[in-house]
Amino acid sequence: MIRKLALLLGAIVLASVLVVPATAAPKPCQQAIKQANKTFHEQQKAAKKAFHTQQKAAKKAFHDQEKAQREAFHAQQKAQREAFEATNPTPAQKEAFQAQQEAALHAFNAQQKAARDAFHTQQHAAKEAFHAQQHAANEAFHTQQKAAKQACKAQP
């Protein structure tokens, strides 16, 4: 008796397991919408990662270039100072040379600051444009997905 009851219960459970997935399976169009959503978001994520990697590489290249220019400028000033000292200048000439060196340093620093500001402005503008493009693509995709879901619901 218990054996028959267990067998009957097992058959009912097996039947319900086989029937439920068949009735609960989503429509093919819903599966396509879900896959498109996943693919789109993966593409957006990859684009964001690539953009940030590119921004980081550009920033590093800029700072490396800035450092190289600074080192070259200081080496040039050092060479000029050593050549000047070799001429046995008068105190007045030393003062004039020092003033010229300081003026060149101020001009160099101003030029580097202007380049740095321009670079950072360009980076910020690129970031804003990228985020605006991502947002627009996201809005357009979700609008299209909403229409696709409504069309899917309308199918029998």
When pLDDT is cut at 50, 70 and 90, the band that residue 134 belongs to is very high
Q: What is the rounded average pLDDT of the residues 122-130?
A: 97
Half-sphere exposure (Cβ direction) of 37: Cα atoms closer than 13 Å: 13
Pairwise pLDDT comparison (152 vs 58), residue with the higher score: 58
Q: In the prediction, which pLDDT does 28 show?
A: 84
CB of 146 closer than 8 Å to CB of 111: no
DSSP letter at 156 equals -
When pLDDT is cut at 50, 70 and 90, the band that residue 153 belongs to is confident
User: How is residue 106 written in tokens?
Assistant: 């101020």
Q: Is residue 89 classed as helix, strand or coil in its secondary structure?
A: coil
Q: How far is CA 78 from CA 24, 55, 72, 83, in A?
A: 80, 35, 10, 9
When pLDDT is cut at 50, 70 and 90, the band that residue 156 belongs to is low
> What is the chain's length?
156
Taking the C-alpha atoms of residue 117 and residue 73, their distance in angstroms, rounded to an integer, is: 20
DSSP letter at 90 equals -
Give per-residue pLDDT as tens, 53-65: 999 999 999 999 9
